[in-house]
Structure formats: C-alpha cells, structure tokens
Amino acid sequence: MTIKNRLIISFALMIAIVVFIASILFFQGKIQRDYLMDSVQNYSLMAGIREIQYYLEKSGSACDFYLVLGDSSEKSKFNEFSGLLQEKINDYSLQLNNFKISKAEYIEFSEIADACNILISRWQNAINMYSEGKRERAISMIENNVLSYYDKIKERIKSEYEKKINAYQIAEKESLRMEKINFIISVGLSVLAIILAMMLSVFLFRTITRPLTKLKEGAEKIGNGSFSQRIEISGHNELTVLAEAFNKMAENLKRSETQLIQMDRMASLGQLAGGIAHELNNPLTGVLGQTEMLLEKLPPQDPIRETLEKIGKAAERCRKITKGLLDFSRQKDYTFEYIDVPKLLDNSLDICSSDLIASKINVVKKYGKEVPKAYISQPHIQQVFLNIITNAIHAMKHGGTLTIVTDVVINNYVTVAFKDTGDGISKVNLEKMFTPFFTTKEPGKGTGLGLVISYGIIQKHNGKILVSSDGDKKGATFTLRLPAGGIK
C-alpha cells in the first residue's frame, strides 16, 4: 500500500473514531439533560400545587372563621386568599402550557381548577348570605354543599402533589445516574481513543518512520562516499521507489568512480609507457639491425645462427610491445569525420578474412537499414574493430559464429555489438579486461594492450566500450557506443 493511501486511511480512521466518540457523548448528554429538565419541571409543578393547596386551605379557614366569628377582617382575608388562589391556578395553567405534559395530566388539572373555582363561588355565596343576615342558611349550605366537596378536592390535590413529588424524585435520581454513566463512558472512550491513537502511531512509525530513517542513514552513507552502500526497504511504496532510485544512483556513482580511476590510471600510464617505449625503440632498432646484419654475414651452417635468430625473435617481440605502448600513449593524430560504420566494419572484416576462414568462423552481419554515420577518427576506430575481431578469432580457435549488430541509436549513439561463441570470460577476468598487460594468451602471443588501447581510443571519442559474458565457454559480447552524426 502506498504511503499516501496509508496516511489517508489513518486520518479517516482517526476522524471516524472522533466522530463516533463525540456522537456517543452528545447522545448521552442529551439523555441526561432530558432527565434534568424533567426533574426541574416536576419540581416547579410540585411547588405550584403546594401553593394552590396552601391558598385553598387559607381561603377555607378564612371562610369558616368568618361564618363562626362574624369578624369582617376574616371576610377580607378570604377575599385576599381566594384571589391569590385564582392567581396561582392561572399561573399553574400557564406553566402547563409551556411544559411538555401528557393530555391526561392536563385534564386532571383542569378538573381540579374547575372544582376550585366552584368551591370559591360556593364559599362566596355562603359569605354573602351571612352578610345579608341569613346565618343559619349560610352554615347549613356549608355543611351540606361545601364540606364534602372541599375534602374531595383536598384529596385530589394531595394525590396530585404526591405524583409530582414522585416524578421529581425519579427524574432527579435518573439524572444523577446518567451523570455517573456519562462519566464512566467518557473515561472509557478516552482510554479507547488513547489506545487506538497509540496503535495508529505504532503502525505509522513502523511503516513510514522506520524505513524513512533507514533511507536517511543509507543516503548519508552514500553521500559520504561509500558508493557500495545499498538501501534495503521491503514492500512497494514511494519509499521503496526512492530507495531503488538511491541504489541506482549509488551504482552509477560507483561506476563513474571506477571509470575515473581507470581514466586517471590510463593517462599516467600512457605518459610513462610512451616515454619508455620511445627510449627503447632506438636501441631495439639497433639490436634488430645488427642481428640481421650478422645473420647475413654468417654461413648457413653456423651454430651461432640459431642463437642469433632467437635474439632476433625476442627483439621483434619487444618491438611489438613498444609499438603497442606507443599506440596507446599516442593520443594525437585524431581526425574526426562522418564515417559509414557498416562500411568500416566490412573493411575490417576483409583485413581479417584469412584468419576468419582459417578458424572456421561464420560471420553474421545484422546491420540496421537506417544507421546514421558516426563522427569518428576512422583509423583509430578501425584499430578498435580489428582488436575486438582478433580477440574473437582467438577465443574461437575451433570455429564458431561472430555476430555483428549495428542499428540501435540510443541517446545519439551508434551502437556496434560483437558477439562471439568462443571461450567466454570468467567473472574475475571481466574486471581485469581493461587493465594494461592483462592477457590469458601464451607468452609471445598476447601483449594485453589491445583492449587498453581500444579503451583509450573510445574515451577520446566520448564513447563507451562495454563487455559482457555469461562465463567460461559461453561466448562474449563487446559493445561500442560511438557518437552519431546525422542520418545516412
């Protein structure tokens, strides 16, 4: 999974957890608030009923006292209390309208209110009768018509009051219980959120931070020059791609470093070799000339002839080597032109044709149709071709096939590949291919300079020479990249 997706999923998960926790807390809070509201409402109704009850009793006793004592202050007390009673009943109705209340409750109270009003008017009647001097009638009316009614109402109000007190107590209890539950749920959810967050952090740490640290350390090591360093990151994501890119970079740096060292070595070796070869050439010419002269003078049967001939051969070998060294060191005489590569290849094959036939080597040419001309120094590149073809012939002593392919143009380079089916090159020797004097040929046969010289020439062209082989007896392939110049 890519890091981008991992981060998206992690954050989505986090948001989901937060939303989940928040909604649970919200709903819990709402339930608790409802209970609280319920308890407040019932408390207020309870207080209201209590007041109605109080003023009802006060009005009743003021009426009684007036009828018994005939004290007019009791009459005005009655007026005051019954007025307050009515006020309280109205207040209570208003409250009921504001509260969410069941229909049954509403009807219950309406009946109580109506009964209270009837009672007040009956008391009022009795008081009026008394004031008019009809004391007996007033008292008998109270006894027959009011007392039992009054008791009934008191009973109903009492039961209403008890109901409200009950409801208030239950709601308060529930509200407290919910508060406790809320607390437990909040703590539980917090712990859960912490655990989940920690798990997510560990997951992100394992999959992002750790490989990132690895990448950083690896990159630092590469940056400090250890180009053999490789960064190993498992999986398939942006970091592994980055690690691969770093590894590739390190590989390229390593290769460039090797090439630089090689070039440097070549340059200093070229100077030294050139100097020595030059110094040796004159005395060698002397040795060869003198030997030939002596051989001419000596009679054919002279036993010294054999020794002289050996000296001559040895001197000839030395000349070959010095010539090679001079070729190697001579980095001048380059004349660059646009050259037809296939033609130059054919020309080089012609030069080697007798050796190719003698070794029973079949040449397969795969020249591309649209190969552009290469901008090269013809004699030098021919020397490279000859070196490579000669080496192939030596590697295929018992016959084989030499395939020459030239048609690919990569980044403005003409590519020429020589593939043989000869002895092949071991892994160990592959690394020594371009080392001066490295040869696997018998003494006298190889100088170990052919490929070194070729390397120098190709460098001079800003080209490339590459060698590959699957190992011993599996053939070898030499590939050249030469600067292309215009289409043929």
Indicate whether 457 belongs to the interface with ligand ADP (CB under 6 A): no
By a kind-dependent CB cut-off of 5 to 8 A, residue 436 interacts, out of ligand ADP, Mg ion, none, with none
Show the tokens assigned to 57.
């009793």
Residues 6 or more apart whose Cβ sits within 8 Å of residue 269: 328, 436
CB 56 within 8 A of CB 160: no
- 441 scored as a contact of ligand ADP (CB under 6 A): yes
Backbone dihedral region for residue 473 (phi beyond 0: left; psi -120 to 50: alpha; all else: beta): left
**DSSP string over 143-164:** IIIIHHHHHHHHHHHHHHHHHH
439 interacts with ligand ADP by CB under 6 A: yes
Q: Which region, judged by CB under 6 A, interacts with ligand ADP, from 79-87, 152-160, 416-424, 457-465?
A: 416-424
Asked if 423 is part of the footprint of ligand ADP (rule: CB under 6 A), the reply reads yes
Is residue 341 part of the contact set for ligand ADP (CB under 6 A)? no
Total binding residues for ligand ADP by CB under 6 A? 22
Residue 448: left (phi > 0), alpha (psi -120 to 50), or beta?
Answer: left
What is the C-alpha to C-alpha distance for residues 395 and 417, in angstroms, rounded to an integer? 16
Q: Angle 205-209-211 (CA atoms, 0-180°, nearest 5)?
A: 115
- Which part of the chain contacts ligand ADP (CB under 6 A), choosing from 206-214, 246-254, 256-264, 445-453? 445-453
For residues 173 to 202, the per-residue mask of contacts with ligand ADP, x marking binding by CB under 6 A and - elsewhere, is ------------------------------
446 belongs to the binding site for ligand ADP (CB under 6 A): yes
Q: How far is the CB of 447 from Mg ion (least distance, A)?
A: 7
DSSP string, 413-462: EEEEEEEE-SS---HHHHTTTTSTT---SPBTTB-S-HHHHHHHHHHHTT
CA distances from 134 to 72, 223, 285, 458, 487 (A): 16, 122, 175, 146, 142
* Nearest residue (CB) to Mg ion, 342 versus 450: 450
- Is 451 a residue that touches ligand ADP (CB under 6 A)? yes
Question: Residue 41 binds what, of Mg ion, ligand ADP, none (CB under 5 to 8 Å, by partner type)?
Answer: none
Residue 157, both tokens: 């109000």
Q: What distance in Å separates the CA atoms of residue 109 and residue 88, rounded to the nearest whole number?
A: 12
Answer for the pair 476, 468: CB distance below 8 angstroms, yes or no: yes
Q: Which is nearer to Mg ion, 182 or 262 (CB)?
A: 262
Amino acid at position 78, single letter = F
Partner whose binding site includes residue 447, from Mg ion, ligand ADP, none (CB under 5 to 8 Å by kind): ligand ADP
Q: Please choose, out of 61-69, 140-148, 278-286, 415-423, the segment that lies near ligand ADP by the rule CB under 6 A.
A: 415-423
Please enumerate in sequence order all residues whose Cβ is within 8 A of that of 145, keeping only pairs 6 or more positions apart, or say none: 122
Task: For residue 327, state whether it binds ligand ADP (rule: CB under 6 A).
Answer: no
Q: Is 422 an interacting residue with respect to ligand ADP (CB under 6 A)?
A: yes
Interaction of residue 400 with ligand ADP, rule CB under 6 A: no
Q: How far is the CB of 383 from ligand ADP (least distance, A)?
A: 11
Residues pairing with 337 in the sheet: 376
Stretch that binds ligand ADP, among 63-71, 247-255, 285-293, 449-457 (CB under 6 A): 449-457
Among Mg ion, ligand ADP, none, the one that 438 touches (CB under a kind-dependent 5 to 8 A) is ligand ADP
Stretch touching ligand ADP by CB under 6 A, among 126-134, 173-181, 355-363, 450-458: 450-458
Neighbours of 8 (CB within 10 A): 11
Query: Considering only 159-167, 274-282, 359-367, 420-428, which stretch makes contact with ligand ADP by CB under 6 A?
Result: 420-428
49 binds ligand ADP (CB under 6 A): no
Give dist(CA 180, CA 376) in Å, integer: 92
Under the binding rule (CB under 6 A), the answer on residue 438 touching ligand ADP is yes
- Asked whether position 440 contacts ligand ADP by CB under 6 A, the answer is yes
Q: Of the candidates 42, 361, 420, 421, which one interacts with ligand ADP according to CB under 6 A?
A: 420
Residue of 170, 148, 193, 230 whose CA lies nearest to 15: 193
Residues 48, 368: Cα–Cα separation, whole Å: 109
Q: Is 74 in the site for ligand ADP (CB under 6 A)?
A: no
Instruction: Give the residue, chosen from 37, 134, 203, 448, that forms a contact with ligand ADP under the rule CB under 6 A.
Output: 448
Interface characters, 212-241, with ligand ADP (x: CB under 6 A):
------------------------------
Nearer to ligand ADP, 75 or 419 (CB): 419
Start-to-end CA distance of the chain, whole Å, equals 50
How is residue 370 annotated by DSSP? T
Candidate ranges 90-98, 349-357, 388-396, 458-466; the one touching ligand ADP (CB under 6 A): 388-396
Q: Which residues bind ligand ADP (CB under 6 A)?
A: 387, 391-392, 395, 420, 422-425, 433, 438-441, 446-452, 476
